[in-house]
Amino acid sequence: MQLTSFAPITGLMWKYLQHCNIDPEPIYKKAGIDPELRFNPQARVDINCIDRLWAEATAVIKDPTFGVKMVEFWHPSMLGAVGYAWLVSSTLRRAMSRIDRYIHAISQGLDTKLEDTPAGLKLSVSIVDEVRVQPQQHTLIIAVLMHMCRFNFGEELIPTEVNIARSKPDDAETITDFFRCPVNFDAEVDSLIIARADADKELSSANKQIALMHDESLMRYLVEIKKGDIVQQVQTIILDNLPDGQVTDKLVASELNLSERSMQRRLKEHKTTFRYLLDSVREMVAKQYIENPMNRMSDIAFLIGFSEQSAFSRAFKKWTGKSPVEYRNSLN
């Protein structure tokens, strides 16, 4: 499957090249990227073109720390709906969980992991093997995350720990000065750790209704961009048919023009099953609906395909370890 990235994020490199008095247009064209795509929120760019853009830019900028300097020209809106959802998240924990959940809407060349550690809330970002990564990209990834956290929280935010999967450059102070804390270079993966008290602090910029609106659009966008993958095709069909009640493997296989056995065999090749995907989609959608206090539990049960609220409650507790009511109360 061809890996792609959200086209408007390429606008950051355009702005930085202009800042360096370098004409971006020939560099973009040499990389195979139409410069106009940076204005198109519906467009995506092949990861291979992004690789070439970074290789060409690195060759002309000749600054081993320019990744951290680029954030001066960054705005969360460059991430589209993900960025807007970030801006109205009630806490940094919820903002970071949205990045973790929707990372492939930003770039299919990245994978994330969000976890609580003794040092605080840790968001790790790994770059898939298919990407030919430049050292400055590692710096930019974590610098952008830090910039976005400060955008919501305030400039006084200092991370507990910063790890960057690149060698230490000669001018490392430029990077450490930005984070205002020691930086661990040569890390296995790029990661940022925020103290739990900071991660869970309620933010004045929060707007739950707008955040949930973006979440709903992102769920559909995410499955749309991965239609070529049998797993994502199954998830899309499940999502579209949830409110109708009985979503069966027979129904999904039929919409894929496959026999049930063929569909199950192809899912097995991806180390998953229809039942697992059905439960994971139901859980994902249920959590989104539960976060909106205007949604009644009985309505949520219907919307994700349960005929009885009691059956939904049992299933949700199996998925999360909490009842739907307990989960909603834990969000407050």
Strand, coil or helix: 194? strand
Break the chain into its structural domains and give their ranges: 4-199, 227-330
Please report, to the nearest 10 degrees, the dihedral formed by the alpha carbons of residues 38, 41, 47, 51 taken in order: 20
Residues 103-112, mean pLDDT to the nearest whole number: 88
Residue owning tokens 């804390």:
181
Q: Please state, in angstroms and as integers, the Cα–Cα distance from residue 194 to each residue in 187, 204, 255, 318, following that order.
A: 17, 18, 44, 30
DSSP secondary structure code for residue 167 in this structure: P
CATH of domain 4-199: 3.90.1520
Q: How far apart, in whole angstroms, are the C-alpha atoms of residue 312 and residue 300?
A: 9
Looking at residue 237, its pLDDT comes to 83
Looking at residue 178, its pLDDT comes to 96
Beta bridge partners of 49: none
Q: How far apart, in whole angstroms, are the C-alpha atoms of residue 328 and residue 321?
A: 13
Q: How far apart, in whole angstroms, are the C-alpha atoms of residue 261 and residue 106?
A: 34
Looking at residue 29, its pLDDT comes to 94
| Contact assessment for residue 205 and residue 87, using Cβ atoms and an 8 Å cutoff | yes
pLDDT of 222 > 70? The answer is: no
DSSP secondary structure code for residue 183 in this structure: E
Strand, coil or helix: 277? helix
Q: How far apart, in whole angstroms, are the C-alpha atoms of residue 260 and residue 251?
A: 9
pLDDT tens for each residue of 126-176: 988 877 888 999 999 999 999 999 988 999 999 999 999 999 998 899 999
**Fold classified for 227-330:** Arc Repressor Mutant, subunit A (1.10.10)
Three-state SS string across 51-86, please?
Answer: HHHHHHHHHHHCCCCHHHHHHHHCCHHHHCHHHHHH
Q: How far apart, in whole angstroms, are the C-alpha atoms of residue 99 and residue 291?
A: 17
Backbone phi and psi for residue 80, each to the nearest 5 degrees, phi listed first: 65, -135
Q: At what angle do helices 47-61 and 135-153 cross, to 10 degrees?
A: 100
pLDDT of 243 > 80? The answer is: no
Percent of the chain with pLDDT over 90: 51
pLDDT tens for each residue of 174-193: 999 999 999 999 999 999 99
Percent of the chain with pLDDT over 70: 91
pLDDT of 324 > 70? The answer is: yes
Tokens at residue 81, please? 């709906």
